[in-house]
């Protein structure tokens, strides 16, 4: 899978409910920390491949979806497993923080 730019809130909801591990990045194109996060997400995509689906949500275009997710600042990264939110990181973090969460969530069996 690749990093996917969300084009509708319904698609994002279906992707999250579809099972597996989904990392959703809630941000905006004008947000400087969000721009710094993009290459980290690309690295994570290379590292985890098909084990993790990565979705970017533009909060300016989908404010209702951001509100549903409880986004209070950007970037906000939420990792879902089998439709359930497992971890939420607000603000830019080092790559190792995202790796640690993904490793933990991928190894979790069941909820």
Residues tagged active-site: 31, 34
Q: Which residues neighbour 78 within 8 Å (Cβ) at sequence distance 6 or greater?
A: 23, 24, 26, 69, 85, 87, 88, 89
First-to-last C-alpha distance (Å) of the chain: 23
DSSP 56: E
Q: Could you give the residue ranges of the DSSP H alpha helices within the chain?
A: 9-17, 32-48, 63-68, 95-107
DSSP 19: S
């Amino acid at each position: 899978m690749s990093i996917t730019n969300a084009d509708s809130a319904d698609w994002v909801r279906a992707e999250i409910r579809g099972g597996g591990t989904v990392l959703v990045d809630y941000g905006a194109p004008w947000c400087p920390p969000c721009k710094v996060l993009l290459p980290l997400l690309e690295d994570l995509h290379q590292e985890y491949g098909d084990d993790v689906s990565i979705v970017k949500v533009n909060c300016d275009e989908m404010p209702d979806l951001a509100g549903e997710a409880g986004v209070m600042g950007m970037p906000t990264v939420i990792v879902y497993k089998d439709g359930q939110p497992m971890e939420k990181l607000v603000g830019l973090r080092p790559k190792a923080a995202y790796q640690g969460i993904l490793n933990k969530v991928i190894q979790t069996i069941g909820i």
